[in-house]
């Protein structure tokens, strides 16, 4: 009789490490994506309207981890007129005139549509970097190959990228919603 005993404890530990590293890597990638998103919103046409500089100075990005989800937000704070300016409607008694060349309405939402692929790439880069950084102890050689597959153009990597792309897409949409929601509450005060 042949008895085969398998000890998966190290494998389990490795998988936990990998899951943690993936979230941390994604968080870093999201931070980079949000930095780029904010820069695009402020500088690329249609860029953020500037008169006194208050509006542009009050764009704030945050990245938070909720379980295995990473969420990024770009919010405009303490600026009650931001929502109407962003939506391009003239406010009570004060029709808007965009004085800065290249600036205009939808300076945030338009970037979600125009540059979402770049933001997704930042995200994926962070995710892959996170996985590559994982050390698997004495299984290092065996799992090292997994890192290579993920960073290459393998099917595994492809699936990962598609999954993250969907999450980012939703995150990016909620970014603009966050701004509007915030300004609604500001305006209602």
Partner 1 sequence: MSLVQDIVTYIEANSALVSDVDLFVGAETVDTPSGSVIVREFMGSTENWSGLQDRAIQILAMDLGYVNAEMLINTVYDLLKHKPGFASDDLVDILYVDVLGMPGYVDRDQSGNFVFSCNLIFRKK
Q: Applying CB under 8 A, which part among 63-71, 103-111, 135-143, 153-161 lies near partner 1? A: 103-111
Least Cα distance to 108 among 41, 57, 35 occurs for: 41
> Which residues, at least 6 apart from 185, have a Cβ–Cβ distance to it below 8 Å?
none
Nearer to partner 1, 12 or 87 (CB): 87
Name residues contacting partner 1, limited to 65-84 (CB under 8 A). 81, 83-84
Tokens of 116: 């979402």
111 binds partner 1 per the rule CB under 8 A? yes
Nearer to partner 1, 164 or 176 (CB): 176
Nearer to partner 1, 46 or 72 (CB): 46
Shortest distance in whole angstroms from residue 122 CB to partner 1: 18
Q: Applying CB under 8 A, which part among 29-37, 62-70, 125-133, 175-183 lies near partner 1? A: 175-183
Contact mark string toward partner 1, 121..160, x via CB under 8 A: ----------------------------------------
What is d(CA 89, CA 183) in angstroms, rounded to the nearest whole number? 14
Number of residues that bind partner 1 (CB under 8 A): 31
What is d(CA 76, CA 60) in angstroms, rounded to the nearest whole number? 6
Calculated CA dihedral for residues 30, 116, 159, 131, nearest 10 degrees: -20
51 binds partner 1 per the rule CB under 8 A? no
For partner 1, which residue of 71, 106, 118, 132 counts as binding (CB under 8 A)?
106
102 binds partner 1 per the rule CB under 8 A? no
Q: φ and ψ at 67, to 5 degrees?
A: 65, -120
> Which residues, at least 6 apart from 128, have a Cβ–Cβ distance to it below 8 Å?
25, 150, 151, 157
Cβ-based neighbour number of residue 162 at 10 Å: 9
Cis peptide upstream of residue 46 (ω within 30 degrees of 0) = yes
Contact positions vs partner 1 (CB under 8 A):
45-46, 81, 83-84, 87-95, 104-106, 109-114, 173, 176-177, 180-181, 183-184, 187
């Amino acid at each position: 009789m042949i008895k085969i005993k398998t000890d998966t404890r190290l494998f389990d530990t490795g998988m936990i490490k990998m899951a943690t590293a993936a979230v941390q890597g994604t968080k870093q990638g999201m931070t980079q994506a949000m930095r780029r998103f904010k820069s695009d919103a402020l500088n690329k046409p249609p860029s953020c309207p500037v008169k006194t500089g208050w509006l542009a100075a009050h764009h704030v990005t945050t990245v938070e981890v909720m379980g295995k989800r990473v969420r990024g937000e770009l919010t405009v704070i303490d600026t009650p007129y931001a929502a109407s300016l962003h939506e391009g409607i003239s406010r009570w008694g004060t029709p808007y005139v965009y004085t800065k060349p290249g600036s205009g309405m939808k300076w945030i939402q338009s970037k979600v549509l125009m540059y979402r692929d770049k933001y997704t790439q930042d995200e994926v880069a962070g995710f892959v970097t996170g996985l590559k950084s994982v050390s698997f102890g004495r299984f290092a050689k065996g799992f090292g190959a997994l890192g290579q597959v993920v960073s290459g153009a393998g099917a595994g990597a492809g699936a990962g990228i598609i999954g993250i792309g969907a999450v980012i897409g939703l995150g990016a949409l909620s970014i603009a919603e966050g701004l509007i929601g915030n300004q609604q509450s500001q305006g209602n005060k």
